[in-house]
């Protein structure tokens, strides 16, 4: 594969970051095109559905972060072959999209409205999702979400938990993961030490 360009916002998180990570673990060369929030509106018409990430490959523009993550996750050996284990992985990916949609609705809000919106998401969808993630992780053995090995589900949850802990989202408590789902907090710390993840962030540093 060659001539791959991934376009996403210029921060190490969100819907694009797990794809960057999977591409890196798969050893696939790609152009990591990063755009600013400020430039986004002027580029909007070049995104087929008006959102990013998008991936350009073989002269075409491809959409949908989880579909892309699954494709490159397979290349990286990070996706289960067994249909039920694949479901366990897929459920997590789509739970994280629910989470992204919920917080997405607060972007653009300001002042007290932003505070109230973010607090509602933290107490609502974020906490519901964390409880379910916690339950799924325990049921899967406590270490990985599927197949007893690293998968794209671990990468996706890791990126989100990492972002929350770093205080990326104003008005969302940085210890929310620790408070609601301690097992997910430990999971995050463990995934950070996975060789492929560590190598990626050492290169980024």
Strands of 54-57's sheet in order across: 31-35, 5-9, 54-57, 60-62
By C-beta, is 94 or 204 nearer to its own copies? 94
Question: Which member of 64, 109, 114, 120 binds its own copies (CB under 8 A)?
Answer: 64
Nearest CB to its own copies, comparing residues 84 and 201: 84
The footprint of its own copies on residues 138-177 (CB under 8 A) is 139
Q: Where are the alpha helices (DSSP H) in 1-53?
A: 17-26, 40-43
The DSSP H or E segment spanning 60 is strand 60-62
Looking at the DSSP bridge assignments, the partners of residue 9 are: 35
Which residue in 153, 174, 156 sits closest to 164, CA to CA? Answer: 174
Kindly state whether residue 66 participates in binding its own copies, applying the rule CB under 8 A.
yes
3-state SS class at 174:
coil
Name residue, tokens 């050492």: 202
Cα–Cα dist 4/74, whole Å? 16
Asked whether position 132 contacts its own copies by CB under 8 A, the answer is: yes
Q: Which stretch binds its own copies (CB under 8 A): 17-25, 27-35, 96-104, 113-121?
A: 96-104
Closest to its own copies by CB, 11 vs 84, is: 84
**Is residue 94 a contact residue for its own copies (CB under 8 A)?**
yes
Residue 146 contacts residue 88 (beta carbons within 8 Å): yes
4 touches its own copies (CB under 8 A): no
Least Cβ distance, residue 74 to its own copies (angstroms):
5
CA–CA dist 3, 1 (Å, integer): 7
Contact region with its own copies (CB under 8 A), list: 21-29, 120-128, 177-185, 193-201: 120-128
Q: Is position 205 an interface residue for its own copies (rule: CB under 8 A)?
A: no
The helix (H) or strand (E) run that includes residue 50 is none
The residues in 25-54 that bind its own copies, with binding defined as CB under 8 A, are 48-51
Residues that bind its own copies (CB under 8 A): 48-51, 60, 62-68, 70-71, 74-75, 83-84, 86-87, 90-91, 93-95, 97-98, 101, 124-125, 128-129, 131-132, 139
């Amino acid at each position: 594969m060659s001539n791959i360009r991934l376009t996403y916002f210029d921060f190490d998180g969100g819907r694009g970051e797990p794809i960057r990570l999977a591409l890196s673990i798969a050893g696939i060369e790609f152009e990591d095109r990063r755009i600013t929030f400020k430039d986004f509106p002027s580029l909007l018409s070049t995104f087929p559905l008006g959102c990013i990430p998008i991936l350009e490959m073989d002269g075409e523009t491809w959409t949908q972060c989880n579909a892309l993550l699954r494709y490159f996750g397979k290349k990286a050996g990070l996706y289960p072959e067994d249909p039920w284990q694949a479901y366990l992985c897929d459920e997590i990916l789509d739970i994280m999209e629910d989470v992204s949609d919920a917080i997405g609705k607060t972007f653009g809000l300001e002042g007290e409205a932003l505070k109230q919106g973010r607090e509602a998401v933290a107490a609502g969808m974020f906490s519901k999702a964390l409880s379910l993630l916690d339950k799924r992780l325990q049921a899967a053995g406590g270490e990985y979400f599927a197949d007893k090995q690293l998968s794209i589900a671990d990468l996706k949850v890791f990126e989100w938990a990492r972002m929350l802990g770093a205080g990326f989202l104003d008005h969302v408590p940085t210890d929310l993961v620790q408070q609601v789902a301690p097992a997910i907090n430990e999971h995050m710390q463990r995934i950070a030490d996975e060789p492929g993840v560590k190598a990626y962030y050492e290169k980024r540093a």
